[in-house]
Amino acid sequence: MFSGKLRSALVIGGQGIRARKLRTFLSMVSLFLGVLAIVAVQAGSEIAERAMLTDVELQAGKDGTMMGYIPGEKGAPAIVESTLKGRADAVAMISSQAVIGEPGVRPINEGGMPFEYAGQRGDYNGSMTFCDASGVCHEQKAPEKKPDGQAIEVNMVALTGDIRRFKPFRPVSGSWLDFATAPSLAPRIVLNEEAAKGLDRYRVPGEMMIEGASHHVSPQIIGVVQDGSSTPRVYLRLDELRTWMPAAAETGSSDIGRFRGGSGGTQLEVYLQPGSADLQQLLKAKLVGAGLSQDQLHFNTVNSKERMESELRILRLIFLGMAFLVLLIGVAGILNVGLATVGERVEEFALRRAVGMSRMLLAGIVLAETLLTGLLTAALAIGAGAAGLQIALAMFGSRFPSLQGTAFPWEAGVAGVIAGLVAGVLGGLIPAVRAARIPIATVMRA
């Protein structure tokens, strides 16, 4: 595998390391912190990138996903629902508002605001003006003033399928929606953490009011997820919601939970897997045929990583520069030890030259010692970094859910090996050149 001279250099270099264990240990100590700094910076940047990307994916979706925004008017929800029915490569989200608790009262967090701002409600004002997607503005009368009561307002998200293939929601407790079973008469809902906080903080009746529904709904809470949203949300199956809204199901209207004081319509988002251009064109054709304008249909590809790369690259370069300075200190230490070792072994090297060893092989022996020392140090630093990561995750992983299940990145291991080799070359090059220049006449000192 190796040439004779290279193999000889490695064998003799290994023997030199074994014969001078203390000096090898001192060289490794001076180099260890530098290599560990490189490993830590590389591992930290990779983990930070994955954590940031995971948090962004909770809201925007995974990279490569085709995301479409569609106005919830002119029967668009019914068209999208029928087109995506039974398909595994696309999911639609129809978002609207709902109230859980006492009927006919003013919600504690009116408008679906986060509960930390629930006590900062304003009073009802006069009429308001809003404009739809076509630019036509309408005047909306002020809503009827209702008495305060025990109720919370949530953003209700009806799903046509499992959204987790596009948005990797993290389970907190319970289970997720099962789309393989028959629709339930009592809708099963999954809360996000903010909605769960509201139900835990305020003891409200288990009754949900949805505008357009024939009756008030008594939902079954089956789980809690982390979805990256700061506003209270509940997720449920669209087919189970349709059971309580037969009129909307038949007419295809957009009266599913009309926003209170908002734009008077629903929010409709469609998520398509990469390579679903045919389905995208089919949706556009059906929606344009139903009367929507082409300009109202917006599809784009999620590319969060590209937007974050420039910021992460700058931070990585800054910390890598600091780590490289620490590595240079280790290189200086191994260089000093190498020069001292060559000074003590002058007679040995001169004798090897006298018996016919070439200058190149002599330099290779010295360089092999520093390279092997650098590789051993890199192995220890990588092991220490991996062990430190596992300890940190065990101690603090519960506080940072995005880091759960994180493994030691292989990029950090590669960076550690490269740092060890570079340090070995830089720290051993000058001693190797000095050893190669030792004259044969020096053997006469012995």
Per the prediction, the chain carries an average pLDDT of: 78
Q: What is the mean pLDDT of residues 143-169?
A: 85
Residue-wise pLDDT tens digits, 318-376: 877 877 887 887 788 778 877 877 777 777 777 777 777 778 887 888 888 888 888 88
Cα gap 60→231, rounded to integer Å: 15
Least confident span in 166-170, 316-320, 442-446: 442-446
Q: Is the pLDDT assigned to residue 14 strictly greater than 80? A: no
- Do residues 146 and 94 share a domain? yes
Residue 254: the pLDDT is: 43
Cα gap 42→380, rounded to integer Å: 16
- Do residues 37 and 72 share a domain? no
- Do residues 439 and 331 share a domain? yes
The domain boundary residue, chosen from 237, 272, 301: 301
Q: Is the pLDDT assigned to residue 222 strictly greater than 90? A: yes
> pLDDT-based confidence at 125, cuts 50/70/90?
low
The domain boundary residue, chosen from 259, 274, 301: 301
Number of domains in the chain: 2
Which residues span the domain enclosing 278? 66-301
- Do residues 297 and 314 share a domain? no
Residue 442: the pLDDT is: 63
The domain boundary residue, chosen from 272, 301, 330: 301
**At residue 92, what are phi and psi to the nearest 5 degrees?**
-110, 145
Cα gap 110→261, rounded to integer Å: 10
> pLDDT-based confidence at 250, cuts 50/70/90?
very low
- Do residues 382 and 234 share a domain? no
Most confident of 89-98, 124-133, 363-372: 89-98
> pLDDT-based confidence at 207, cuts 50/70/90?
confident
- Do residues 47 and 85 share a domain? no
- Do residues 275 and 126 share a domain? yes
Q: Nearest 10 degrees: CA dihedral of 138, 141, 142, 145?
A: -150
- Do residues 363 and 238 share a domain? no
Cα gap 251→160, rounded to integer Å: 18
Cα gap 126→331, rounded to integer Å: 74
More confident residue, 287 or 357: 287
Residue 249: the pLDDT is: 42
Residue-wise pLDDT tens digits, 27-67: 777 788 888 888 888 887 777 777 777 777 887 888 888 88
DSSP state of 169: P
Question: Three-state DSSP class for 348?
Answer: helix
Taking only Cα atoms into account, the Rg of the chain, rounded to an integer number of angstroms, comes to 33
Cα gap 161→174, rounded to integer Å: 19
- Do residues 419 and 345 share a domain? yes
Calculate what percentage of the chain has a pLDDT beyond 90: 10
The length of the chain is 446
> For residue 202, how many other CB atoms are within 10 A of its CB?
17
Residue 405: the pLDDT is: 65
- Do residues 237 and 333 share a domain? no
pTM of the model: 0.66
- Do residues 28 and 123 share a domain? no
Contact between 312 and 49 under an 8 Å Cβ cutoff? The reply is yes
Long-range Cβ contact pairs of 378-383 (< 8 A, separation 24 or more)? 378/35, 378/416, 378/417, 378/419, 378/420, 378/421, 379/420, 380/28, 380/32, 381/32, 381/35, 381/36, 381/38, 381/39, 381/416, 381/420, 382/39, 382/412, 382/413, 382/416, 382/417
Residue 91: the pLDDT is: 92
Q: What is the mean pLDDT of residues 392-398?
A: 73
- Do residues 371 and 231 share a domain? no
> For residue 126, how many other CB atoms are within 10 A of its CB?
6
Q: Nearest 10 degrees: CA dihedral of 144, 147, 150, 155?
A: 20
